[in-house]
Amino acid sequence: MSLLTALVDPAAPAEVEVVRVGEEVLSRAELLDRARRFGAGLRDAGPVAVLAEPSVDTVVAVVGGLLAGVPVVPVPPDAGPREVAYVVADSRATCWAGPGRDGVELPCVLPADVAPADVISADVTGMLATAGPALILYTSGTTGEPKGVELSAAAIAAGLDALAEAWEWTAADTLVHGLPLFHTHGLILGLLGPLRFGSPLHHTVRPTPARYAAARGSIYFAVPTVWGRVAADPPAARALRRARLLVSGSAPLPVSVFRRLHALTGHRPIERYGMTETMITLSTRADGERRPGWVGRPVAGVETRIRSEEGGAAVPADGESIGALEVRGPMLFDGYLGRPEATAEARTTDGWFRTGDIATCDADGFHRIVGRASTDLIKSGGYRIGSGEIESVLLDHPAVAEVAVVGLPDPDLGQRVAAFVVPERTPRDGLADELTGLVAEALSWHKRPRDVVFVESLPRNAMGKVQKKRLL
């Protein structure tokens, strides 16, 4: 069995369009041929790092790696040299796909020049049985450097099939989105889903309301920031009336945006909740209730439980009592690459994954995500950003004595990254921009602080620990 069932189905028509990225189009035959040649060029390779620009070359590299059974490590195209070097070293990638980046010494993958009949077809012979990760996705934690989340082909397949069931997603659909191709949302749901189910993908390169309106699709994916921008653009929103499903995820969809989208498009958006480590575990359904502010019930194969943060007792399913959300199911990750301790810590002794989110569940099994337990994980525009990563970059600057990074409420991004900095001396003009640039350059553009606030001291408790909640 294959992960990319529809793509490798020999009975499927060869010339049908399967992927469009901006103006670039790939038919099924072209994608298979290019991906197999790419995969053949990976023989004996370790993980392949793919600079995940929104392009058909990225699609070819990801599919080629999957077909060859070589773990694929997507690298954010806006990542700076320090983050790129870290991801390449930590993942032990042995080759690189995409435009070169400063400091990356890996050989570039050269697609093998072989006849299509000779190219490898590991996928057809059993990709789902391949041991080890199919994808290694880097994601931020509350402390330390980002970790590589290992997802097997079997987990990805289970996660996608659960969504197909909940959303009645079939080959008759065309998916439209313009999300980054280096995270679960845009890459797994947004690319591997279409290739598994045979529903063409139209990737709009950037997720702007105008491009969503111009595309002709039946399912649209976006993060709440993008849905907020669509809702603020009535002509673009009205163009989505012809769609079948509008799907929101990666961060909480404000109730006001849900209502405005409904009014303009006639659709009550589907909301679904997940994590890089778990794929999507909760969702509302194509054939079910869609309640603003709530993310629905467990998808097929998933179980959840909510336990009190003090003592761990189950909280009542009354839609009001809150506690720590734990999940289990076949789509969960295998572990954090090379970090057995962090992997063990993420699970309870009886095998449930600790999401780190606080939630409530009502008597009908509907869940609402109330927030995160820790202020150290920020969700900005749907990106997960660890405050510790940013703090450690800023502390390297000689003008910074102390720093605390938090997510402040933001009407567009949900949260925006803000750095509260105690300077060594009176800050000179331009220091705030310099610090912002430092983070953008070292980590990535999307992790840059939008605000830098100079303060005389940070709020601390009697033990000397910084109290970030007092900065919010």
Residues that bind ligand AMP (CB under 6 A): 139, 184, 249-252, 271-276, 295, 355-357, 369, 372, 379, 384
Q: Which is nearer to ligand MCA, 62 or 275 (CB)?
A: 275
The residue behind tokens 């720093």 is 403
By a kind-dependent CB cut-off of 5 to 8 A, residue 187 interacts, out of ligand AMP, ligand MCA, none, with none
- Contact between 416 and 380 under an 8 Å Cβ cutoff? The reply is yes
Q: Determine, following the binding rule CB under 6 A, whether residue 226 of this chain makes contact with ligand MCA.
A: yes
Query: Which residues does 26 contact at the CB level (< 8 Å), separation at least 6?
Result: 17, 18, 19, 20, 34, 56, 59, 60
How far is 134 from 155, CA to CA, in rounded Å?
9
Among 69, 207, 217, 335, binds ligand MCA (CB under 6 A): 207
Residue 421's DSSP bridge partners are: 403, 454
- Among ligand MCA, ligand AMP, none, partner that 101 touches (CB below 5 to 8 angstroms by kind): none
Work out how close the CB of 403 gets to ligand MCA at its nearest, in angstroms, rounded to a whole number. 21
Cα–Cα distance measured from residue 64 to residue 121, given in angstroms and rounded to the nearest whole number = 10
Site string for ligand MCA, 40-79 (x = CB under 6 A): --------------------------------------x-
Residue 384: CB minimum distance to ligand AMP, A = 3
In angstroms, give the least distance from the CB of 338 to ligand AMP: 19
- The DSSP H or E segment spanning 386 is strand 383-386
For the bound state, the minimum distance from the C-beta of residue 464 to ligand AMP, rounded and expressed in Å, comes to: 29
Q: Between 31 and 327, whose beta carbon lies closer to ligand AMP? A: 327
* Site for ligand MCA contains 223 (CB under 6 A): yes
How are beta strands 353-361 and 367-372 bridged, if at all? antiparallel
451 binds ligand MCA (CB under 6 A): no
User: CA 127 → CA 8, 131, 146, 156, distances in Å?
Assistant: 11, 9, 27, 11
Burial class (CB in 10 A: 0-12, 13-18, 19+), 415: buried
Q: How many helices (H) and strands (E) does the chain have?
A: 13, 24
Taking the C-alpha atoms of residue 400 and residue 454, their distance in angstroms, rounded to an integer, is: 10
Nearer to ligand AMP (CB atom), residue 185 or residue 211: 185
Q: Output the smallest distance, CB 143 to ligand MCA, in A.
A: 19
Q: Which does 295 bind (CB under 5 to 8 A by kind): ligand MCA, ligand AMP, none?
A: ligand AMP
Question: Residues 249, 167: contact at Cβ < 8 Å?
Answer: no
Binding region for ligand MCA (CB under 6 A): 78, 179-180, 183-186, 207, 223, 225-226, 249-250, 274-276, 381-383, 440, 445-446
